[in-house]
Chain A
Amino acid sequence: MSDLGNILKKEVRELLTPATIIPVIVMAFVFGGMGHMIGGVIEEAKEKPVIGIIDEDNSILSGIVTGVLNHGAEVVYSPTDGADIPEALEHVEEEGGAALLVIPPDFSENIYENRHGVVRIHWIMKGAGMMDSIPSQVVDALVQVVNQEISRTLVGEDSPVNPDVAVSPITKSETTVFKGREMEGISPGTISGMLSSQSITIPIIMMLIIMMAGGTVITSMGMEKENKTLETLLTLPVKRNSIVIGKIVGSAIVGLVMAAIYMVGFGYYMQSFQSAEINLADFGLALGPQDYLLVGLSLFVTLLAGLSLCMVLGTFAKNYKSAQTLMLPVTFLAVIPMFLIMFKDFDTLPAVLRIILFAIPFSHPMMAIRTLMFDDYLLVLSGIAYVVIFAAIMVAVVAWIFRTDRLLTGGTRTRGISKFLRGFLGRGPFHRRL
Chain B
Amino acid sequence: MLAVEVKDLVKDFGSIRAVDGASFDVHEGEIFGLIGPNGAGKTTILRIVSTLLQINSGSVKVLGHDVVKEADQVRRLISYLPEDAGAYKNLTGRAYLEFIARFFGGGNEIKKIIERGVEIANLGERIDDRVDTYSKGMTRRLLVGRALMTEPKLAILDEPTSGLDVTNAREIREIIKKSVKRETTVLLSSHNMLEVEFLCERIALINRGGIVEEGNAPELKKRYRADNLEEVFVKVVS
| 33-87 of chain B: CB within 8 A of chain A | 39, 43-44, 47, 50-54, 72, 75-76, 78-82, 84-87
Residue of A nearest to B73 (CB): A237
| 184-241 of chain A: CB within 8 A of chain B | 226-229, 231-232, 234-239
Q: Are A228 and B80 in contact (CB under 8 A)?
A: no
Q: Are B52 and A236 in contact (CB under 8 A)?
A: no
| A238–B51 CA distance with the chains assembled, in angstroms | 12
| A66–B133 CA distance with the chains assembled, in angstroms | 81
Residue of A nearest to B78 (CB): A235
Residues of B within 8 A of A227 (CB): 85-89
Q: Are A236 and B53 in contact (CB under 8 A)?
A: no
Q: Are B88 and A408 in contact (CB under 8 A)?
A: no
Closest CB in chain B relative to A374 CB, distance in Å: 47
Q: Are B87 and A412 in contact (CB under 8 A)?
A: no
Residues of A within 8 A of B88 (CB): 227, 229
A71 sits at the interface (CB 8 A): no
Residues of A within 8 A of B50 (CB): 231, 235
A415 sits at the interface (CB 8 A): yes
Q: Are B85 and A232 in contact (CB under 8 A)?
A: yes
Residues of A within 8 A of B81 (CB): 232
Q: Are A236 and B54 in contact (CB under 8 A)?
A: no
B13 sits at the interface (CB 8 A): yes
Specify which of B44, B79, B85, B89 lies most central, judged by the most chain A CB atoms within 10 Å of its CB: B85
Q: Are A228 and B85 in contact (CB under 8 A)?
A: yes
Q: Are A235 and B76 in contact (CB under 8 A)?
A: no
A81 sits at the interface (CB 8 A): no
| A405–B54 CA distance with the chains assembled, in angstroms | 6
| 1-54 of chain B: CB within 8 A of chain A | 13-14, 16, 18, 39, 43-44, 47, 50-54
- Given known pairs A232-B80, A434-B18, A434-B44, the reply for A237 and B75 (CB within 8 Å) is yes
Residues of B within 8 A of A236 (CB): 75, 100, 103
Q: Are A415 and B103 in contact (CB under 8 A)?
A: no
Which of B14, B16, B51, B89 is close to A235, meaning CB atoms less than 8 Å apart?
B51
B224 sits at the interface (CB 8 A): no
Give how many B residues have a beta carbon under 8 Å from the other chain's beta carbons: 31
Q: Are B87 and A409 in contact (CB under 8 A)?
A: no
Residues of B within 8 A of A235 (CB): 50-52, 75, 78-80
Closest CB in chain B relative to A224 CB, distance in Å: 9
Residues of B within 8 A of A238 (CB): 75, 103
- Given known pairs A227-B86, A231-B80, A231-B82, the reply for A409 and B13 (CB within 8 Å) is yes
| A21–B75 CA distance with the chains assembled, in angstroms | 39
Closest CB in chain A relative to B56 CB, distance in Å: 11
| 378-404 of chain A: CB within 8 A of chain B | 404
| A237–B43 CA distance with the chains assembled, in angstroms | 21
Q: Are B86 and A231 in contact (CB under 8 A)?
A: no
| 229-278 of chain A: CB within 8 A of chain B | 229, 231-232, 234-239
**Which label, helix, strand, loop or mixed, suits the secondary structure of the A interface?**
loop
Q: Are A409 and B53 in contact (CB under 8 A)?
A: yes
| A408–B82 CA distance with the chains assembled, in angstroms | 12
| A147–B106 CA distance with the chains assembled, in angstroms | 82
| A232–B87 CA distance with the chains assembled, in angstroms | 9
Q: Are A228 and B52 in contact (CB under 8 A)?
A: no
Which of B39, B85, B87, B100 is close to A231, meaning CB atoms less than 8 Å apart?
B85
Residues of A within 8 A of B78 (CB): 235
Residues of B within 8 A of A432 (CB): 13-14, 16
| A226–B52 CA distance with the chains assembled, in angstroms | 17
| A404–B84 CA distance with the chains assembled, in angstroms | 22
**Residue interface mask B90-110, A partner, CB < 8 A = 1:** 000000000010011000000
Which of B16, B51, B103 is close to A434, meaning CB atoms less than 8 Å apart?
B16
Q: Are A434 and B39 in contact (CB under 8 A)?
A: yes
Residues of A within 8 A of B79 (CB): 235
Q: Are A229 and B87 in contact (CB under 8 A)?
A: yes
Residues of A within 8 A of B14 (CB): 412, 415, 432
Residues of B within 8 A of A229 (CB): 85-88
Residues of B within 8 A of A415 (CB): 14
Residues of A within 8 A of B18 (CB): 434
| 159-178 of chain A: CB within 8 A of chain B | none
| A434–B54 CA distance with the chains assembled, in angstroms | 14
Residue of B nearest to A433 (CB): B39
Closest CB in chain B relative to A237 CB, distance in Å: 5
Residues of B within 8 A of A228 (CB): 82, 84-86
Residue of B nearest to A408 (CB): B52
| A227–B79 CA distance with the chains assembled, in angstroms | 18
Closest CB in chain B relative to A430 CB, distance in Å: 14
Which of A237, A404, A412 is close to B13, meaning CB atoms less than 8 Å apart?
A412
Query: 25 pairs across A/B with beta carbons < 8 Å?
Result: A227-B85, A227-B89, A228-B82, A228-B84, A229-B86, A231-B82, A234-B51, A235-B50, A236-B103, A237-B72, A237-B75, A237-B76, A237-B104, A238-B75, A404-B54, A405-B13, A405-B52, A408-B47, A408-B52, A409-B13, A412-B13, A412-B14, A415-B14, A432-B16, A434-B13
Question: 10 closest pairs, A vs B, by CB?
Answer: A227-B86, A412-B14, A235-B80, A228-B85, A231-B82, A237-B75, A237-B76, A235-B50, A236-B103, A405-B53
Chain A interface residues (CB < 8 Å from chain B): 226-229, 231-232, 234-239, 404-405, 408-409, 412, 415, 432, 434
Starting from the known contacts A231-B85, A405-B54, 20 additional A-B residue pairs (CB-CB under 8 Å) come to A226-B86, A227-B88, A229-B85, A231-B52, A232-B81, A232-B82, A232-B85, A235-B78, A235-B79, A235-B80, A236-B75, A236-B103, A237-B75, A237-B76, A238-B103, A408-B47, A408-B53, A409-B53, A412-B14, A434-B39
